[in-house]
Every structure is written in C-alpha cells, then in structure tokens.
C-alpha cells in the first residue's frame, strides 16, 4: 500500500508527487496529464488552454520552474494592450491613458486623484474605492463583468491583492504620455520555446512517470481501517493518506458519507468555464503583441493571445494565429453554441474590429474546459470554511486551484504543493 494517493494529475498532482517522492501515486482520469496547463496542436499551430505564462514574485518557485525546463525556456518582454474604442491602450489600462480621448483622460485622472472611498461591501465597491469612477466605468467594471461572467457587486474581495493599486505619480505620468510600467513583476516573463505551456507540467511528469495511474476516474472514496480506498468502479487502490488535487466538486461526489452541510457548501461554490478558439491566419503578423484585453460587451471574447509572438515554432511560416478566450457556464447561451457557431462569432468579431480579414482564415480549432476560473462570490469564505474544516477533520489535504478553490497561477499551485508535501512528510 502506497503511503499517499494523489487524486488528479494536473500540475498540482504532478508537483506534489515530485516533492513527496516515490511513496506517492497519482490517479489521473485521462490518458494525459496537465489539467488546465495543456496545450493543443493542429496543422502546425500550437496554443494553450488559456494565456499561460511564467512569472512570479516567488523566486524559489520561479527558479524551480526554469530549472525544470532548462534550455527549453525563453525569456520575453510583456507587450500587452487593452482594446478600447478601436485603439490599443497599454496594459495595464492606467499606464496607457495618454492615447485616450481628452475627456476620458480627464475623467480617469481627476477621479483617481480626487476619489473619496465609500462603503465597501463587494468587489464593485472595491474597484470604485481603489481606482475612482473614471477607470472603473471605462475599463475595470466592464472588463471584470465580462471575464467573471458575474456582476461585480455579487463578488467578494478576498482575492483583490492580485490587483495592485498604481502609484499616483504613475497615473499622472501616464496621462501626460510619460512612459510608465505597471505590474512590473510580470514585465519580463518566461515561456517554452516550443511545445506550449504544457512543457512545464511535462517536465514534472518526466520525473514521476512511474507513479502515475492513467485512465483512472475517481468514482468512490471511503475510509478503511488502515486509511483510504479509492475506486474507479472496477479497480480499487489503498492509501494511508489522500491528497485531493482534482476539483473539489469531484471529491465531494466521490466521498462516501459526506455530511449534508458540507455538500451544500460545495454545491454553493461558483466558477466559470472557458472556451478557447484558435484562428489560424494566412498573414505573417497580425500584431506585435502577445495579449490584448477586450472589455466591450458586443464581443464574445475577453482576451486575445497571439502565439506568433513566441516564434515560428508556434505558427507555420508565413502565418499567424490568434486565440480568443471566452468565459461561459454550462447551459448558458454561449456554452450551448456549437463549436462552429462559437468560432464563427469569434472570426466575425475579429474581422469587424480589424484584427484580420475573413478571406485569410485558414482554420479554426475550439477547446472547452468545465473548470477554469474560481469566482469569489459574497459567500465564498463562509462556504470554503465549512469545506476546509471537514477535510481537516478527515485528514484530507487539498492542493491546487480547484481543489483548494483559490485563484492560483501555476507558481501558486507549485508553492501550495511544496507546502502540502512538507506538511504530509512531517506528520
């Protein structure tokens, strides 16, 4: 019997096994590992399930990621923009104000400086209190409403430390056209030279290859006299301890004897799904940028990523690609569209905004994932507290974005895995 069973083979599960060592085993429901960090390949085009890049304030974890990739990693300079009134505004938005219309510049600058914070009961309040009415109304409210597919007034503020408040001097300089940079911790970032972002989980996978049981969907989990029994309906495996590195919803569905209160808390958690549409274009370069953020409500997509930015290993010679990210939820109007319909809407929108011409489109490819973004709704902390307390009582560790239900980037997931592994090894 293995000491630790890891449920899920995304980057959380893979890095957990890497830190725990040989007495751990990963149960992965699919034939391939990687979870949200997967990449896709079609007719010479490579793209990711979302615009993943490598950056971190956590130097130890960033150094680990780079050491795992070795010479496969390249360093890049951030060239991102917001698409606003049919022009590119430097990202983050408050660092590119000088290209706006004069009235918009005044509204952003005046309301940022003269802002008098009011009550703060939700995410919408936080945006207005932190950035002022100009920046809020022009960009932050429409963009966040779109990406979260949720009204900001129904969201909490447990996660807002991810959004740095710009210094006053930077906003003034931006309005005057003096160069400034925001979010400097991601100004220089890393990305694999070929193969897509999944090269990062693959580098961990290579280290733990012999500990992975593939095509093992977890159907039932029950306590035994010696630990835990995990079954896929045909095969049953025994462990002294288990760590959940799969979505908390899947854990709750499989756990025998889950209390009604805990099940209710899990069912109350809110999340978004994601559709990505890759458009291959017979044009050598669509833009000099990698990511473009799109707040306007008449376009389906909230972000565009241009993978030709990383070189010809990502697009065939003489072509380019654009990947549109669309937030949706199972059963809503967008999710219910066929892949052909979603791709058609994306191509129409890109053509209407002048990013490409329809006649140059070579192909499209569509990927969907059920679990993409954690939503920090008003009851988030209450529900998560109930779940965490139950798992602690049962001795079940949680690790990863959708196991812990925390909006981690890959560096945060790996840091969590190292922390959990140390705790497990020390008990």
Please check whether residues 170 and 213 belong to one and the same domain.
no
Please check whether residues 413 and 386 belong to one and the same domain.
yes
Mean pLDDT for 78-93 is 96
Residue 162: its pLDDT value, please? 85
State which H helix or E strand residue 16 sits in: helix 11-20
Q: Which residues pair with 278 in a beta bridge?
A: 323, 365
Residue 140: its pLDDT value, please? 98
Residue 261: its pLDDT value, please? 98
Indicate whether 297 belongs to any domain: no
Indicate whether 64 belongs to any domain: no
What 3-state class would DSSP assign to 23?
coil
Where does the pLDDT of residue 284 fall: very low under 50, low under 70, confident under 90, or very high at 90 and above?
very high
Please check whether residues 8 and 138 belong to one and the same domain.
no
Where does the pLDDT of residue 114 fall: very low under 50, low under 70, confident under 90, or very high at 90 and above?
very high
CA dist 110 to 183, 292, 351, 383, Å? 22, 26, 35, 39
pTM, rounded to two decimals: 0.96
Mean pLDDT for 237-265 is 98
Total domains, the chain: 2
Output phi, psi for 76, to 5 deg.
-135, 160
Residues with Cβ within 8 Å of 225's Cβ and at least 6 positions away in sequence, in order, are none
* Per-residue pLDDT reduced to its tens digit, 136-190: 999 999 999 999 999 999 999 989 988 888 999 999 999 999 999 888 888 999 9
Q: Supply the mean pLDDT for the chain.
A: 96
Residue 183: its pLDDT value, please? 86
Please check whether residues 99 and 220 belong to one and the same domain.
no
The residue range of the domain holding 227 is 2-35+197-269+378-425
Domain boundary among 146, 179, 212: 179
Indicate whether 244 belongs to any domain: yes
Q: Where are the beta strands (DSSP E) in 51-158?
A: 73-77, 80-84, 87-90
122 has pLDDT over 90? yes
* Per-residue pLDDT reduced to its tens digit, 90-113: 999 999 999 999 999 999 999 999
Mean pLDDT for 347-372 is 97
25 has pLDDT over 80? yes
Residue 2: its pLDDT value, please? 82
Of 68-72, 158-162, 416-420, where does mean pLDDT reach its minimum?
A: 158-162
Residue 1: its pLDDT value, please? 66
Instruction: Find the angle CA(267)-CA(415)-CA(205) to the nearest 5 degrees.
Output: 90
Domain with residue 400: its CATH number is: 3.50.50.60
Please check whether residues 261 and 393 belong to one and the same domain.
yes
Please check whether residues 98 and 165 belong to one and the same domain.
yes
Where does the pLDDT of residue 384 fall: very low under 50, low under 70, confident under 90, or very high at 90 and above?
very high
Residue 184: its pLDDT value, please? 87
What percentage of the chain has pLDDT greater than the value 90?
Answer: 96
Please check whether residues 202 and 167 belong to one and the same domain.
no
Indicate whether 77 belongs to any domain: no
């Amino acid at each position: 019997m293995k000491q630790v069973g890891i449920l899920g083979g995304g980057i959380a599960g893979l890095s957990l096994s890497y830190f725990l060592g040989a007495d751990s085993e990963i149960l992965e429901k699919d034939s391939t590992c990687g979870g949200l960090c997967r990449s896709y390949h079609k007719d010479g085009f490579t793209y990711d399930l979302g615009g993943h890049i490598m950056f971190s304030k956590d130097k130890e974890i960033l150094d680990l990621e780079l050491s795992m990739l070795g010479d496969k990693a390249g360093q890049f300079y951030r060239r991102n923009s917001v698409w606003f009134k049919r022009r590119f505004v430097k990202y983050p938005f408050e660092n590119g104000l000088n290209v706006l219309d004069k009235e918009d510049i005044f509204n952003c600058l005046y309301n940022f400086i003269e802002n008098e914070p009011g009550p703060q009961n939700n995410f919408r309040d936080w945006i207005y209190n932190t950035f002022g009415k100009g920046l809020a109304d022009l960009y932050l409210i429409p963009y966040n409403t779109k990406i979260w597919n949720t009204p900001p007034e129904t969201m909490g503020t447990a996660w807002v430390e991810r959004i740095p408040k710009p210094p006053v001097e930077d906003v003034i300089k931006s309005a005057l056209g003096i160069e400034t940079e925001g979010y400097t911790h991601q100004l220089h970032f890393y990305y694999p030279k070929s193969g897509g972002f999944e090269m990062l989980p693959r580098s961990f996978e290579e280290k733990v290859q012999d500990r992975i049981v593939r095509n093992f969907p977890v159907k039932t989990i029950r306590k035994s006299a010696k630990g835990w029994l995990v079954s896929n309906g045909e095969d049953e495996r025994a462990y002294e301890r288990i760590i959940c590195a799969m979505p908390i919803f899947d854990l709750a569905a499989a756990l025998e004897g889950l209390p009604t209160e805990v099940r209710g808390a899990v069912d109350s958690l809110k999340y978004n799904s994601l559709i990505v549409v890759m458009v291959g274009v017979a044009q050598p370069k669509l833009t000099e940028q990698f990511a473009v953020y799109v707040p306007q409500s008449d376009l389906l997509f909230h972000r565009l990523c241009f993978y030709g930015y990383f070189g010809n290993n990502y697009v065939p010679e003489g072509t380019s690609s654009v990947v549109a990210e669309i937030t949706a939820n199972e059963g809503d109007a967008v999710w219910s569209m066929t892949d052909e319909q979603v791709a058609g809407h994306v191509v129409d929108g890109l053509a209407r905004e002048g990013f490409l011409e329809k006649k140059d489109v070579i192909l499209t490819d569509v990927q969907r994932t059920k679990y993409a973004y954690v939503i920090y709704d008003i009851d988030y902390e209450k529900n998560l507290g109930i779940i965490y307390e139950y798992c602690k009582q049962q001795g079940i560790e949680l690790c990863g974005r959708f196991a812990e239900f925390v909006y981690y980037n890959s560096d945060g997931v790996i840091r969590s895995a190292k922390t959990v592994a140390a705790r497990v090894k020390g008990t």
